[in-house]
Homo-oligomer: A and B are copies of this chain.
Amino acid sequence: MSETTELAARAAKLDAVDELAAVRARFVLDEAVYLDGNSLGALPAAVPGRMEDVVRRQWGELRIRSWDESGWWTAPERIGDRIAPLVGAAPGQIVVGDSTSVNVFKALVGAVRLARLDGDGRDEILFDATTFPTDGYIAESAARMTGCTPRPLEPAEVPGALSGRTAAVLLNHVDYRTGRLHDLPALTAAVHAVGAPVVWDLCHSAGALPVGLDEHGVDLAVGCTYKYLNGGPGSPAYLYVRAGLQDRFDSPLPGWNSHAEPFGMRSAYEPAPGALRGRVGTPDILSMLALEAALDVWDGVTVEAVRAKSLALTDFFLECVRAYVPAGRVESLTPVAHAERGSQVALRCPPAPGLAGAGGAPVAGDVMKRLIEQGVVGDFRYPDVLRFGFTPLYVGFGDVERAARVLAETLAG
């Protein structure tokens, strides 16, 4: 039996005993191997019908009455409570709305203000220099607007840089590029040891692995909903504020939706109690209710089962790549240790004979284009990274074997 046949046979066996295999039917998918759910999750089958009802009946017929009768007004906190169990949070701590960038701003400025409740001595914002860029840009802005110094650092350098001057720390749970999973419990404890609050960005972990926000005492967290939560393109992000901090959370974006009495139309701002304090303006209902429908795919699914399958999928992918792809053509940037791995595999793909990028384009970009033409959809991250995301809700082991095989064939020229 050839290596290819052997791995394909093993994939079939793994798929046959996969307890999440049936969940795939909750999505609209085709023959392609979709390994880009870490960028845009696939369409849950329940969404189109729900959206039609939201548009035609809730908006078209009930119109303004839907703010009450269709539950539009309470959607941000109601949907936040649907996300809560997926990130290990008790109800009442998450609101949905705005983009991730805007929520990073709320969380980080809010964190600095919390840190300064006992005095103004804290004046440094530490953040992950390897992070998705928007977090760094917003951290710089938050620092500028709170009189702090922004300090970009490698995550490994953070513990050594913490001090009594630390006002807030912004970290990514999983690195968007390499797929490295950072040690949330240990880093949170280290930040707390110097008396500062920590903000975690969960964009690349929520829905893919257990987060344990409450368990580990995280102060604030943000995340998007269009990756492993399948909320649709640009679906609203969310903000978590730990219950014990909510009455002191002081948002830099105090919109009318976070007022204690929004329809009182009062000129003096008085923040609402609880997670609602993280709301700002009128919520984008169409995008938000698509997300709500999308969250139905989680019925009966545990994050622990998702994590177990995710690790099995990425292990198997790395094994197939090693078996199929000639040595030296790609190099995995994703850690081998399970404790350090998210739900994606990033392969560095340097220039090689016969693979010169067309018109000076990066080689990896060209390779990804050819993979997509053959029905294996991942994405390319500048300058030389092939990124493959594994969504255990709809990716199977047969998909994984096929992706590695097509990659090997493509690299062979």
Q: Point out residues on A near B: beta carbons under 8 Å.
A: 28, 30, 34, 36, 39-40, 42-43, 47-48, 51-52, 55-56, 58-61, 63-67, 72, 97-102, 105, 109, 129, 132-134, 136-138, 140-141, 145-146, 152, 177, 224, 226, 232-237, 252-257, 259, 263-267, 269, 280-288, 290, 372, 377, 379, 381-382
The one of B98, B137, B235, B259 that contacts A286, using a Cβ cutoff of 8 Å: B235
Q: Is the CB of B137 within 8 A of A255?
A: yes
Q: Is the CB of B133 within 8 A of A265?
A: yes
Q: Is the CB of A232 within 8 A of B59?
A: yes
Q: Is the CB of A253 within 8 A of B43?
A: no
Given the complex of chains A and B, what is the CA–CA distance between A330 and B372 in angstroms? Answer: 66
Q: Contacts A39-B64, A269-B137, A281-B102; is A286 near B132 (CB within 8 Å)?
A: no
The one of B60, B105, B234, B267 that contacts A284, using a Cβ cutoff of 8 Å: B234
Q: Is the CB of A36 within 8 A of B63?
A: yes
Question: Closest 3 A-B residue pairs measured CB to CB?
Answer: A99-B281, A101-B255, A101-B281
23 A-B pairs with C-beta separation under 8 A: A40-B63, A42-B60, A42-B63, A51-B55, A55-B290, A99-B280, A99-B281, A101-B281, A109-B145, A133-B266, A134-B255, A134-B281, A136-B267, A137-B269, A138-B254, A141-B254, A145-B146, A232-B286, A234-B285, A234-B288, A235-B284, A265-B381, A265-B382
What is the CB-to-nearest-CB distance from A407 to chain B, in angstroms, rounded to a whole number?
18
CB-CB nearest in chain B for A385: B265
Q: Contacts A234-B286, A267-B129; is A253 near B379 (CB within 8 Å)?
A: no
Q: Is the CB of A284 within 8 A of B377?
A: no
B residues less than 8 Å from A39 (CB atoms): 64
CB-CB nearest in chain B for A270: B137
Given the complex of chains A and B, what is the CA–CA distance between A98 and B30 in angstroms? Answer: 33
Q: Is the CB of B233 within 8 A of A286?
A: yes
B residues less than 8 Å from A254 (CB atoms): 137-138, 140-141
Given the complex of chains A and B, what is the CA–CA distance between A56 and B381 in angstroms? Answer: 27
The one of B40, B55, B177 that contacts A48, using a Cβ cutoff of 8 Å: B55
Q: Is the CB of B282 within 8 A of A285?
A: no
Q: Is the CB of A99 within 8 A of B282?
A: yes
What is the CB-to-nearest-CB distance from A264 to chain B, in angstroms, rounded to a whole number?
6
What is the CB-to-nearest-CB distance from A81 to chain B, in angstroms, rounded to a whole number?
19
Given the complex of chains A and B, what is the CA–CA distance between A37 and B296 in angstroms? Answer: 33
Given the complex of chains A and B, what is the CA–CA distance between A232 and B285 in angstroms? Answer: 8
Q: Is the CB of B56 within 8 A of A48?
A: yes
B residues less than 8 Å from A269 (CB atoms): 133, 136-137, 140
Given the complex of chains A and B, what is the CA–CA distance between A255 and B254 in angstroms? Answer: 19
CB-CB nearest in chain B for A63: B40
B residues less than 8 Å from A65 (CB atoms): 372
B residues less than 8 Å from A237 (CB atoms): 281
Given the complex of chains A and B, what is the CA–CA distance between A234 and B255 in angstroms? Answer: 14
B residues less than 8 Å from A64 (CB atoms): 36, 39-40, 377, 379
The one of B60, B152, B284 that contacts A28, using a Cβ cutoff of 8 Å: B60
B residues less than 8 Å from A257 (CB atoms): 101, 134
The one of B101, B267, B284 that contacts A253, using a Cβ cutoff of 8 Å: B101
Q: Contacts A59-B232, A234-B286, A286-B232; is A280 near B133 (CB within 8 Å)?
A: no
The one of B99, B267, B283 that contacts A133, using a Cβ cutoff of 8 Å: B267
CB-CB nearest in chain B for A97: B99
Given the complex of chains A and B, what is the CA–CA distance between A246 and B27 in angstroms? Answer: 43
B residues less than 8 Å from A52 (CB atoms): 48, 51-52
B residues less than 8 Å from A47 (CB atoms): 55
Given the complex of chains A and B, what is the CA–CA distance between A100 and B257 in angstroms? Answer: 11
Q: Is the CB of B55 within 8 A of A284?
A: no
